[in-house]
Amino acid sequence: MSEMLSQDEIDALLRGTSDSSKSEAKPEEHLDSMESDALGEIGNISFGNSATALSTLLQQKVEITTPIVSEVTIDALRERYPTPHVALRVGYTEGLKGENVFVLTREDAAIISDLMLGGNGMDVDPEGLDEIRLSAVQEAMNQMMGAAATSLSTVFSKKIDISPPLVEVFDATKNQTIIDRLELWETMVLIEFNLKVGTLIDSKIVQIAPIQFGKQLVNELMAATSPQPVAPVAAAPKLEAPKAPAAAIPQQPVRQEMKSVPEVAVSQAEFMPLHAPATSESIPANLGLLYDVPLSVTVELGRTKRSVREVLELSQGSIIELDKLAGEPVDIYVNQQRIARGEVVVIEENFGVRVTEIIQPHERIGIV
């Protein structure tokens, strides 16, 4: 008999397995309906903040809604993407273990990159996704996933951080970096979202992850929302007052004397007005739950717009004119939301900002 190995046996050995061990491998894991619903809810929470972050970057109204959770194999994935798409791989460095891949159409990626580079997102060429435009898409996804990680940190009550996303245009019919990575996952969970960017994009964005990572997210959600056990409290012993001996009980009736009640001055009650105006100092009772959530504080000196040509022509010593006048207050942002204005100061060798005005909550609506 020939001692030569077949190609299938060679591939199995390269993966660290053999045909004889396949029968001993544990059965594939699958998601039940409860886990699928939980993943959809996690997607709703995390991508709600992602839509806000992307809207700030693109200066367009962004909606990411209606997640649909399903399972997929690598063969089905190749059939789903017969034409090249843009894939971004995001790994978790703290709080969670694993990674996931996001898939966009080249048309959507081209529109996002054009908006990121100061264009209007119209008449874009999907074939023109060069290194600069892919870097713009990568930065947009980095901001989106950073906002999603912040949301998960709040929901899971633990710090969650991500690595910078890796981006590439992939062809599912060929073996490339990200596709090779997907083939290492036995089973995958696919979460599909509706993506709307103004009137420019009405499409889908797809999140793909190993099913073990999906179950990890569900377990974290269950652990964070399950009530903590309360230690039982032992009942205090019942104390009885000692009974007085019979001889101590008086036999004569007790005479009760009525004391005169002094006159009390009565005045009209005064109440606070029912419709007192709300003040900014009123703090919700449960705000303490959010005290440890990290927020990004940014001070914006000014803004301007430049074409790609002008940006590429920048060199050392170039001067960029901003839209703010000298001495004009600078804007203070928290998580991309403007909350105050102030003036720049110098503290020893560092710059600082002195808050001169707090923007009222009703004035922040619609501010970008």
Q: Are 163 and 90 in contact (CB under 8 A)?
A: yes
Report pTM. Answer: 0.53
Provide mean pLDDT across the span 256-283: 51
Query: For the chain, what percent of residues have pLDDT higher than 90?
Result: 3
CATH class, range 30-225 = alpha beta
For the domain with range 329-368, which CATH number is right: 3.30.420.40, 3.40.1050.10, 2.30.330.10, 2.130.10.10?
Answer: 2.30.330.10
Check residue 72 and report its DSSP letter: E
pLDDT value for 172 = 66
The residues spanned by each domain of the chain are: 30-225, 329-368
Give the mean pLDDT of 37-41. Answer: 87
Kindly report, residue by residue over 343-358, the tens digit of the pLDDT.
888 887 788 888 988 8
- pLDDT tens digits for range 45-82: 888 788 888 888 888 898 888 788 888 887 787 788 77
Residue located via tokens 């997210």:
217
User: In this structure, how many other beta carbons lie within 10 angstroms of the beta carbon of residue 246?
Assistant: 6
In the predicted structure, residue 22 carries a pLDDT above the cut 70:
no
Residue range 106-110: mean pLDDT, rounded: 91
Q: Give pLDDT, residue 24.
A: 45
Cα–Cα distance for residue pair 227/270, rounded to 1 Å: 43
Determine the Cα–Cα distance for residues 310 and 308; give it in Å rounded to an integer.
5
Give the pLDDT of residue 111. Answer: 92
